[in-house]
Amino acid sequence: MGVLRPLLATLALAVLYWGCAIWGPLAMGAWQDDAIYVATATSLAEGHGYRHPEIPGEPFQAKYPVLYPALLSVLIRIAPEYPSNVPLLLAPTAIAAAALVVLSALYWRRCFAPDPLRWRLACILSALSPAIVSMVRFTMSDLVYAALALAALFQLDAADEIGEEEPSVRRGLMAGALLGAATLTRSIGLSVLAGAVAFLFWRRRWRDASAVAGIAALFIVPWHLWQLQAAAANGAALGDGSLAGLLLSELNYGIWAPVGAFETLRVVVQNAVRIVFGLPYFQFGLPSWIAADALGSFSWATIIVHVLGYSFLITLFAGFVVTVRQRLRALHLAAIAYAIVVLAYPGDPYRFLLPWAPFLIYFLLAGAGRAAHLAAGGSSLRSTRNERIAMGVLGSLLALLFVTEDLRTVSGGASDYHFRVTPQDWGDARDLEAKLRELTDPEDVVASGDFAALYLSTGRQGYYAWPIENPYELFYGPDRSYWNFFILGTETAADQVAERVRRMLPDAYRAAGVRWYVDNARPDVLTTAVRRLIAQRPQWFQPVYLTPQGMFRIYRVTLPPLPGPAGRST
C-alpha cells in the first residue's frame, strides 16, 4: 500500500471528525481538563509562561505535560478571540483521531495479517467508534497522545517484522522521538515507553533500545526538571495552609500517587470492575439509558451490563492472546504496561482506555472469531465459516450501536447535548456565564467544579469548590458495592466527605478570598457535601440566582471573620 491512499483516508476522516466537532453548541469545560488545556495554552500564547491563569496568583502548571497546550498556543496566536477560536482549537483532535484510525488499520494489515473480513470490520467500526466521535468535540489530549504512541509502536513492530535484513536504527530513532512526544502529551506515555524498551531488550536489540530510550529522554528529562522546579515554586507560594487543599489535586500528581499496597490493591480491584462497566457503555455503544438504569438501582439492566461487560472482557482477552500467539510485539508489552498504570491509578479508567479504542475493537473481533473456531471442533471448513459468521454478526450489532450513538451525539442541541458521560445543559451554562459577568466584579474569586471553563467565558479566576486530599479514600472506599461498579458513593464516604468539608472549607474559602460559589446539578459526593454545609450554615451562603433549567445555582459567600487575639476580629 502506498503513502497516498492512507494520507487521503486520513484527510477525509479528519474533515468528517472536524465537522462532527464543530456541529452543535460550544461545549468547553465538560471535562474540566479541556478548559484547563485552553487556559494554560492561552498563558503560553500571551507570553506569560506555562501557568494557570484561571487560578489567583497564576501558579505554574506542573501537572499536565506541555506539548498539547503548546500546540494549542500556536493556534491561539493565530486566532486569539475566545470562543470564536474554538473550532480551530478542535482541529488537532480531529486530525489525531483520523490518524489513529488509519494507523491502526495499517498496523493490523502489516503486523497481524488478519482475515480480510476482520480487517475491514475493524476499520469501519474504529472510524465509527462512539468513544472517538464523542471525544473529537473537546480540546483533550487523549487522541493526540494515542496517534503519537501508536505511530511509535508501528515503527518498532514494522522494524521487527523486517528483522536482521535491514538496519532498523532509523526506525528506532523515529520511535524514540514519537514516544518522547507522546509522553510530553500525557504522562502515562512513560508506561508505553517502558513496554517498548522492554520489548527491544527481550528481542536483544540493544542498539535499538538505546536509540529509543536516548531520544525519548531528550524530550522527557528537560520537562521533568522544569516540572520539579515549578512544583517547588508553587509549594513555596502556597505553603501548607488551608488554601493548598483547594489546589493539591490540580497542581501536581502527588496526591494521586500510590499511598500503600493495600490501598493500591483496592483501587486495582475496583478499577477492574469499573472497566467491566466502561467496555459496553463507553467503548461499545451501549445506550446510556441502560447504563443509567444499571447504576441507579439493581434491576434487569444491571444484569445485562454485567453479562455484557464480562463477556466483552473475556472475549477481548482471548483476542489479545490470539495476536500474542502469532508473535509477541512491542504493542503487546506496551498495552500490558499501560493497563497496569490504568488499573492502579485512582481515576475512572473508561476514559484512559480511549487511546486503545481501535485495538479494543480488533481484539474483540479476534476473540469472537477464536471462540467460533473452537466451537467448530477442529473442522477447517466449518471453523472458517463459523468465524466469519461470528465476526459478521458481532460487527453488524456493533455497527448498529455505534451509528445510533454517533447520530445522537452529533444531533444533540444545547439542552440535549450528548457526550456519554455527565449530562449537561449548555443553554443553562451560557445563562450562568452571563449572570456571573453581571453579578461579579473582575477581581472576584469564584469556587466551582467548572472554574476553568468559567474563567474562559467570564474572566473570573477561581478554585475547585472543595478540598481533595486523599482520592483513594474519597473515590475508592472499601464499602462500595459491586452491582453499581463502585461508581456511586456510599453513605460512609458521604459522611466522611461532609465532615471534611465542614471542617476545612470555611478556612480554605477565607484563605482563597472566595466570594461566590457555583453549585451544579451533578449528584457527586463532593457537591453533596458542600450542599450539606450550606444547609447547616445558610447565613454563609446567600442564594442569588438559579438558572432556568435548574442546572446551576449561584451563591454569594459571606464567611464570618476568624476571631483575633484577645477576642477581637481579624
**129 pLDDT exceeds 80?**
yes
Cβ atoms of 467 and 505 within 8 Å: the answer is yes
**433 pLDDT exceeds 50?**
yes
Segment 147-158 shows an average pLDDT of: 95
Residue 253: all three cell numbers together: 500528581
**570 pLDDT exceeds 70?**
no
| pLDDT confidence of residue 353 | 94
| pLDDT confidence of residue 186 | 97
- C-alpha–C-alpha distance, residues 516 and 456, integer Å: 17
| pLDDT confidence of residue 517 | 97
Residue 415: all three cell numbers together: 439542552
| pLDDT confidence of residue 292 | 83
Domain ranges of the chain: 29-82+141-257, 115-129+258-420, 426-567
**18 pLDDT exceeds 70?**
yes
Residue 232: count of CB within 10 angstroms of its CB: 12
| pLDDT confidence of residue 240 | 60
Strand-strand pairing, 552-557 and 541-546: antiparallel
153-173 CB burial, b ≥16 within 10 A, e <16: bbbbbbbbeeeeeeebeebbb
In this predicted model, what pLDDT tens digit does every residue of 283-293 receive, in sequence order?
999 988 888 88
Q: How many CA atoms lie within 13 A of 450 on its CB side?
A: 27
Q: Peptide bond before 83: cis, by omega within 30 degrees of 0?
A: yes
Round the average pLDDT of the chain to a whole number and report it. 90
**568 pLDDT exceeds 60?**
no
Q: Is 357 exposed, middle or buried (0-12, 13-18, 19+ CB in 10 A)?
A: buried
**165 pLDDT exceeds 50?**
no
**552 pLDDT exceeds 90?**
yes
Segment 292-315 shows an average pLDDT of: 90
Cβ atoms of 467 and 485 within 8 Å: the answer is no
Most distant CA atoms of the chain, gap in Å: 93
Q: Which residue has the cell 484527510?
A: 11
C-alpha distances in angstroms, 280 versus 130, 372, 542?
Answer: 11, 21, 43
**219 pLDDT exceeds 80?**
yes
| pLDDT confidence of residue 149 | 98
- C-alpha–C-alpha distance, residues 147 and 98, integer Å: 9
Cβ atoms of 465 and 440 within 8 Å: the answer is no
Segment 50-76 shows an average pLDDT of: 96
Q: Is 396 exposed, middle or buried (0-12, 13-18, 19+ CB in 10 A)?
A: exposed
- C-alpha–C-alpha distance, residues 34 and 534, integer Å: 29
pLDDT-derived band of residue 567, with 50, 70 and 90 as boundaries? very low
In this predicted model, what pLDDT tens digit does every residue of 460-517 receive, in sequence order?
999 988 888 778 877 888 888 888 787 777 777 788 888 888 888 999 999 899 999 9
- C-alpha–C-alpha distance, residues 346 and 179, integer Å: 24
In this predicted model, what pLDDT tens digit does every residue of 395-410 receive, in sequence order?
999 999 999 999 999 8
- C-alpha–C-alpha distance, residues 463 and 445, integer Å: 8
Lowest pLDDT segment from 84-93, 361-370, 386-395, 555-564:
555-564
